[in-house]
Structure 1
Amino acid sequence: MTWAEHAIFWHVYPLGFTGAPQRAGQTPDAGGTPYPRLRQLVDWLDYAVGLGLNGLLLGPVFASVSHGYDTLDHERVDPRLGTQDDLAALAAACRERGVRLVLDGVFNHLSADHPLVRRAVAAGPGTDEGRWIRWVDGYPRWFEGHPGLVELDLAQPVVASRVAEVMTHWLDRGADGWRLDAAYAQGAQVWRPVLDQVRAAHPDAWVVGEVIHGDYAGFVRDSGVDTVTQYELWKATWSSLVDGNLYELDHALGRHAALLDTFVPQTFVGNHDVTRIASRVGKDGAVLALTMLMTVGGVPSVYYGDDQGFEGVKEEREGGDDAVRPSFPGTPGELASWGEPVSRAHVELVGLRRRHPWLVRARTEAVTLSNDHYVYRATGTPEEVLEVELDLRGGGHRARVRDGAGQAIWSWG
Structure 2
Amino acid sequence: MQTGWPASPAIYEIDTWPWLTGLSRRLGRPVTLADVPAGVWDEVATPGLDAVWLMGVWERSPAGLAVARADDGLQRAFRRALPDLAPDDVVGSPYCVRRYRVDDRLGGPSGLAKARAELRERGLKLILDYVPNHVAPDHPAVLGHPDWFVRLEDGSIANGRDPFFPPWPDVVQLNAFSAGLRAATLDVMSRIAEQCDGMRCDMAMLLTNEIFAGTWGRHAGPVPATEFWPGLIGELRERHPDVALIAEVYWDTEWLLQQQGFDFCYDKRLYDRLAHEDAASVRAHLAAGRDYQDRLVRFLENHDEPRAAAAMPDGRGRAAAVAVATLPGATLWHDGQFEGRRTRLPVFLARYPDEPADLGLRDFYRRLIEVAGDVRRGEWRLLGTSGWPDNPSHQDLLAWSWDATVVVVNYAAHPAQGRVELPGPALAGRAWRLVDRLDGRVFERSGSELATDGLFVDLPPWGFHILTLS
TM bracket (short chain): 0.7 to 0.9
Can you give the 5+ residue segments of structure 1 that lack an aligned partner in the other structure? 21-33, 121-128, 315-319, 330-334
For the residues of structure 2 that align with 1:77 and 1:267, how far apart are their CA atoms? 28
Q: In the superposition, relative to structure 1, how do residues 283 and 312 fare at CA in structure 2: closer, same or farther (>3 Å)?
A: farther
* Structure 1 contact 14–60 (Cα < 8 Å) conserved: yes
Q: CA deviation at 1:356?
A: 1.4
* Structure 1 contact 388–402 (Cα < 8 Å) conserved: no
Q: In the superposition, relative to structure 1, how do residues 155 and 219 fare at CA in structure 2: closer, same or farther (>3 Å)?
A: same
Q: Which residue of 2 aligns with 1:132?
A: 148
* Structure 1 contact 180–210 (Cα < 8 Å) conserved: yes
Of residues 106, 115, 118 in structure 1, which corresponds to 2:140? 115
Q: CA deviation at 1:103?
A: 0.5
- Give the TM-score normalised by the residue count of structure 1: 0.78
* Structure 1 contact 372–392 (Cα < 8 Å) conserved: no
Q: Which residue of 2 aligns with 1:12?
A: 14
- Give the TM-score normalised by the residue count of structure 2: 0.69
Larger Rg computed on CA atoms: 2
Identity %: 20
Q: Which residue of 2 aligns with 1:24?
A: none
Q: Which residue of 2 aligns with 1:375?
A: 397
For the residues of structure 2 that align with 1:339 and 1:7, how far apart are their CA atoms? 26
Q: CA deviation at 1:61?
A: 0.8
Q: Which moved more, 1:401-410 or 1:245-254?
A: 401-410
Q: Which residue of 2 aligns with 1:168?
A: 190
Q: Which residue of 1 aligns with 2:410?
A: 390
Q: In the superposition, relative to structure 1, how do residues 211 and 39 fare at CA in structure 2: closer, same or farther (>3 Å)?
A: farther
- CA deviation string 1:88-132 (max 9, x = no partner): 100111111110001011122101121212x16xxxxxxxx3321
Of residues 420, 428, 434 in structure 2, which corresponds to 1:407? 434
Q: Which residue of 1 aligns with 2:159?
A: 142
Of residues 296, 315, 324 in structure 2, which corresponds to 1:284? 315
For the residues of structure 2 that align with 1:397 and 1:302, how far apart are their CA atoms? 28
The aligned runs of 1:301-380 (5 Å cut-off) are 301-313=332-344, 320=346, 327=352, 338-358=357-377, 362-367=380-385, 374-380=396-402
Can you give the 5+ residue segments of structure 2 that lack an aligned partner in the other structure? 23-29, 62-91, 162-166, 210-226, 424-431, 440-462, 465-470
Q: CA deviation at 1:293?
A: 0.7
Determine whether 1:83 maps to 2:92: no
Partner secondary structure for residue 252 of structure 2 = coil
For the residues of structure 2 that align with 1:391 and 1:232, how far apart are their CA atoms? 17
Of residues 316, 329, 339 in structure 2, which corresponds to 1:298? 329
Q: CA deviation at 1:263?
A: 4.8
Q: In the superposition, relative to structure 1, how do residues 12 and 55 fare at CA in structure 2: closer, same or farther (>3 Å)?
A: same
The aligned runs of 1:229-240 (5 Å cut-off) are 229-240=266-277
Partner secondary structure for residue 13 of structure 2 = strand
Of residues 254, 262, 266 in structure 1, which corresponds to 2:297? 266
Of residues 97, 100, 103 in structure 2, which corresponds to 1:71? 97
Q: Which residue of 2 aligns with 1:101?
A: 126
Partner secondary structure for residue 279 of structure 1 = helix
Partner secondary structure for residue 358 of structure 1 = coil
Partner letter of residue 140 of structure 1?
I
* RMSD over equivalenced CA pairs, Å: 3.2
Determine whether 1:224 maps to 2:243: no
Determine whether 1:151 maps to 2:173: yes
